[in-house]
Chain A
Amino acid sequence: MNTELTGIIATFLLTLIIAIPLGKYLAKVFAGEKVWTDFLKPLESGIFKLSGIDIREQMNWKQQMKALMTINLLWLVYGFFVLIFQDKLPFNPDGNPGMTPDLAFNTIISFVANCNLQHYSGESGVSYLTQQFVLMFLQFVSAATGIAAAVVLFKAFKDKTSTQLGNFWEFFVKSITRLLLPLAIVVALILTFNGTPASYDSKDQFISVQGDTVNVSRGPAAQFIAIKHLGTNGGGYFGANSAHPFENPNYITNTVEVVSQTIIPLAMLIAFGYFIRRKKLAWTIFGVMTIGLFMLLVPTLNSELGGNPELAKMGISQASGAMEGKEVRLGPAATAYWSTLTTVISTGSVNGMHDSTMPLTGLWQLLAMMINSFYGGCGVGLLNYFIYLIVAVFISGLMVGRTPEFLGHKVEAREIKIAAIITLLSPFLILAGTAISSFVFTDHGAAEWAVQPKNWLNNPGFHGFSEMLYEVTSSNANNGSGFEGLGDNNVFWNVLTGVIIFLGRFLPIIGPVAIAGLLAAKKFIPESAGTLKTDTKTFALMTFAVILVLNALSYFPALALGPLAEYFTMLK
């Protein structure tokens, strides 16, 4: 068997070996049980004391969401001004300019929302102050926000009936001190000792062997890259993200980075099962998600390892697979694996350029982001899946003629309305966004923006349409990867994707938490012969069918116009 394939099999197994114990550990941490990291308690007490927070104060779901929104809005304001004035602030050794207001608007929403769509390039667009005090800071806290919101959902289903769902600040801070920060230190050191820069040295210059003058961007990248993956953020320190030899020096770091982006979403799922004492439910969900992952991964591998048919016609050898936009040290198999993982999980970091992948690979990447819950982002993946679960419970209830119930609570009109709105939000944002951009491209090509709409696309025809569809889908999924050929740093894309990211982030957090909060407050109905069991294979299949049908109905036409059309044209 070839070593590139054994590499990705080993990577997936390594992910499971780390994620499962990590999940059990997290369940204990959030339940307040004894764990070996309790030596960090004094640090946490210090943080709470300095912040004037009393974690004994219980919050209902509305208070939880108020706290969440307050601190997130504060970060938006703080970050926006740092981005605009970064040229006047200290710690800018390369003398990079301040951001335009529309770019700052886009960037700050993108990082607060855990999306990390980047319309700037790390080397020339931001100062070291911005990299560390805004972007890296937000990579920690936005991941912790997602995790804390998911823990509120855990709490809602732990006890039979309850309105008191714990303290948001406690979940939030513990996500950082017990999970993100310790892991980030480990990963950052592994990267540093494999060659990723970690020091504060500024740009360097040297004369190459052939006599060219070469400038080298550097800086504290390892610290940033560690949390960018652990927190499923994905924003690169350098423009080329993890394809850059500094961000991802070798096969070991590649494995470490792709494993780190997968472990927390998986661990949260396991933690859910242990926390609410329904392990079977968690394993059932894990089964659905993993099957979904493989259904996207296998065809992706197939289309990338087969190489580009157009290049095959020219007669060259594509022994290892398609190489445009990929790195030799990583190889097409590891890049294909990464591209699937980074889109099913909302990381959006890349180790090869998605714009240059094969049409069908693009299709699977898009579909992965549209579904957005096969593992999904830190905490939010589970929240997205929860919406699918509620819809599945409702439809199954209708089919068998019983009042739908979930974990002993009746699911009624109000909850279903919320679930329906959240379900419809994604297709609305994605399709309307793509439609508006296509309209501007075709009918207002000469608009006087930083990049004229007629010059937006780096590729003609169907692939160009895919570039726009991908940008909007990635924004809604809070993924942040892109078909980077798109000329996206102009007022149109900055504002459009900024708004989509914001709505695509906070409504799908508040919706599921609201449903969970409402359900938790209802009377508990003990299980009986008439209960619809949610941890059976039948129900798993039902959920899978709901996910497939909803997404196929919503997105098939758009996918047919982009990647599918390109694929069939290339067959000719």
Chain B
Amino acid sequence: MKKYIIQSIRLTVVLLVLLCIVYPISVAFIGKMAKGNGGGEKIIRNGKTVGYALLGQSFSRPEYFWGRPSAVAYNAAGSAGSNKGPSNPDYLKEVQSRIDTLIKYNPGIKTSDIPADMVTASGSGLDPNISEQGAAIQVARVAKARNVDEQKVKDLVAMNTLKPFLGLFGPSSVNVLKLNLDLDKL
């Protein structure tokens, strides 16, 4: 028994060096070559960081495309979903009020045009994307608020749409932050 204890202690120390120092530091070192030097890719405008490419932000003004509802208000110091069950009455009221808000600010759209992602909170609370349909229902509002041609806005949406991987696998999505930054450049 005593032998196993001593062997366990020594083996643990050796493995701590291998697995907790050598391994992670090597990966971090090679990771310096990745985008954002392995610290997360930043988006910089006029010399200032305005966001991270992978993290969604809160957009509420009419001239911007809105992202999905978030349980953490897009504060990336934490992350969480709403954890609301599908039959929770409070939750269902909340969804109904999100539907009403969308209809109010996007006159002309029908309830049946609204895709589920625009009225449900994401898993992380930081989802940077919306569906193509989620962008489509906002085009008219954004174009009007910015006083630009709808077609121009549609083109930008198309430019910021990520198609399924190789055109074959997975969903397509629109990156809200990149789209909004492109809009600001118009």
Contact = CB atoms under 8 A, between A and B. Distances in A.
Contact of A70 (B1, B48, B131): B1
Contacts of A331: 170-171
B170 A3 contact: yes
Contacts of B120: 311, 322-326
Contacts of A314: 92, 95-96, 99, 111
Contacts of B78: 121, 123-124, 217, 239
A132 B38 contact: no
B177 A243 contact: no
A315 B111 contact: yes
Interface in B12-47: 12, 14-16, 18-20, 23-24, 26-28, 30-32, 34-42
Interface stretch (A195-203, A280-288, A386-394): A195-203
A374 interface: no
Given A140-B19, A566-B85, A328 B27 contact: no
Nearest to A220: B24
A209 B46 CA distance: 12
Interface in A202-256: 203-204, 206-210, 212, 214-218, 220, 222-223, 238-240, 243-246, 249, 251-252, 254-255
A538 interface: no
A137 B49 CA distance: 34
A458 B84 contact: yes
Nearest to B37: A199
B123 A327 contact: yes
Contact of B40 (A173, A240, A246, A254): A246
Contact of A124 (B12, B50, B77): B77
A195 to B, nearest CB: 5
A218 B165 CA distance: 27
Interface string A420-442: 00000000000000000000000
Contacts of B125: 240
B113 interface: yes
Interface residues of A, number: 118
Contact of A317 (B86, B113, B171): B113
Contacts of B59: 209-210
A461 interface: yes
A252 B55 CA distance: 17
A208 B50 contact: yes
Interface in A42-57: 47, 50-53
A42 B107 CA distance: 71
B10 A210 contact: no
B81 A353 contact: yes
A519 B89 CA distance: 56
B131 A4 contact: no
B129 interface: yes
Given A317-B133, A327-B124, A200 B28 contact: yes
Interface in A139-193: 140-141, 169, 173, 176, 181, 184-185, 188-189, 192-193
A52 B6 contact: yes
B45 to A, nearest CB: 8
A456 interface: no
B8 A318 contact: no
Contact of B86 (A244, A315, A358): A358
B95 to A, nearest CB: 6
B5 interface: yes
Nearest to A193: B34
3 closest Cβ contacts across the A-B interface? A243-B123, A485-B83, A331-B171
28 contacts: A3-B170, A51-B7, A67-B8, A71-B12, A121-B78, A121-B80, A137-B16, A140-B19, A181-B19, A181-B23, A188-B27, A193-B31, A198-B31, A199-B28, A204-B40, A207-B50, A208-B51, A215-B77, A217-B79, A243-B81, A245-B56, A311-B120, A320-B115, A324-B121, A325-B123, A326-B120, A458-B84, A485-B85
